Amino acid sequence: MLGLPDGVRACLFDLDGVLTKTASVHAEAWKQMFDEFLAARAKQGGKPGERLDPFDKVDEYDEYVDGKPRYDGVQSFLESRGIELPYGTPDDPPDAQTVCGLGNRKNDLVLALIEKNGVEAYEGSVRFVKAARDAGLRRAVVSSSANCLQVLQGAGIDDLFEDRIDGAIAAREHLAGKPAPDTYLAGAKLLGVEPAEAAVFEDALAGVESGRAGKFGFVVGVDRVGQADALREHGADRVVEDLAELLES
């Protein structure tokens, strides 16, 4: 009744774009932060080989930042534009011209947007998680966001999950971010299951890659932005537009 293969005992859910309608909020925060940085750098003249046109919050968001730890996303995008910055430290202020400074600026922006507009969960995802709970499946959230718990609480769904691996926990435990499988493997371990006994639910290409790399029993790609083919190419066993579709299969 859940559209999952026999043998799946646990479900590991990404947060933004799978459970909550926050992927668009993150994309907007990334765009605002990068556009301000790129415009300021262009005004200063830039350096040879740098591309300083505005950030594309669809294609470049999907390719370079979606699903990845924040500083990894900054580094990945800057490399794609031929821009070199010092890495800095996580304590850098949000106006620092470092990888960490830009990442911290993006985090400030996304928190402000969430506080302003609130957090909404996808109704179909909530239905699916409740059905998984009622069927006796273990459930955890695996997110690169350091604000995972606040978002779950803001959406009123934190009580549906037994555990979580988020950006703060990943940093503390030195877990490599998506597309590496480390955070999902840690989530499976928390729930006491082998990877082959767990299903991964992801909307990000990097997240789908991590599910495939970890040899999980089933990888569900959630297509919110019209990238079904890309999700399959990166390793999704099945692609749906909403998790409620699994309840109807």
Instruction: Tell me the C-alpha distance between 5 and 7, whole Å.
Output: 6
Q: CA–CA separation, 9 vs 214, rounded Å?
A: 16
In this prediction, residue 147 has a pLDDT band, given cuts at 50, 70 and 90, of: confident
pTM given for the model: 0.82
State the CATH number of the domain containing residue 17: 3.40.50.1000
Whether residue 112 sits in one domain with residue 158:
no
CB atoms within 10 A of CB 56: 14
pLDDT of residue 67: 83
Range of the domain at 131: 10-22+119-247
Interior angle at CA 124, CA 121 and CA 130, nearest 5 = 90
pLDDT tier at 154 (50, 70, 90 boundaries)?
Answer: confident
Decide the pairing of beta strands 163-165 and 138-142. Answer: parallel
Q: Does 171 lie in the same domain as 86?
A: no
The total of other beta-carbon atoms located within 10 Å of residue 225's CB is 16
Cβ(135)–Cβ(2) under 8 Å?
yes
Task: Among 117, 146, 162, identify where a domain stops.
Answer: 117
Rounded (to 5) percent helix, strand, coil in the chain: 50, 10, 40
How many domains are there within the chain? Answer: 2
99 residue type, one letter? V
Structure tokens that stand for 52 in this block: 């300083």
Q: Are residues 14 and 87 in the same domain?
A: no
Q: Is 100 part of a structural domain of the chain?
A: yes
> 93: which residues sit within 8 A by CB, 6+ positions away?
101, 104
pLDDT at 212 over 90: yes
Residues recognised as catalytic: 14, 16
The C-alpha atoms of residue 249 and residue 246 are separated, in whole angstroms, by 5
pLDDT digits 0-9 by tens, 86-107: 999 999 999 999 999 999 999 9
204 and 125 fall within a common domain: yes
Q: What is the pLDDT of residues 31-90, one digit of tens each?
A: 999 999 999 999 999 999 999 999 999 999 989 998 888 999 999 999 999 999 999 999
Q: Is 183 a member of any domain?
A: yes
Residues 153, 70 within the same domain: no
Same domain, 241 and 129: yes
Q: Within a domain: residue 162? A: yes
Give the list of residues 6+ apart from residue 6 with CB closer than 8 angstroms, or none: none
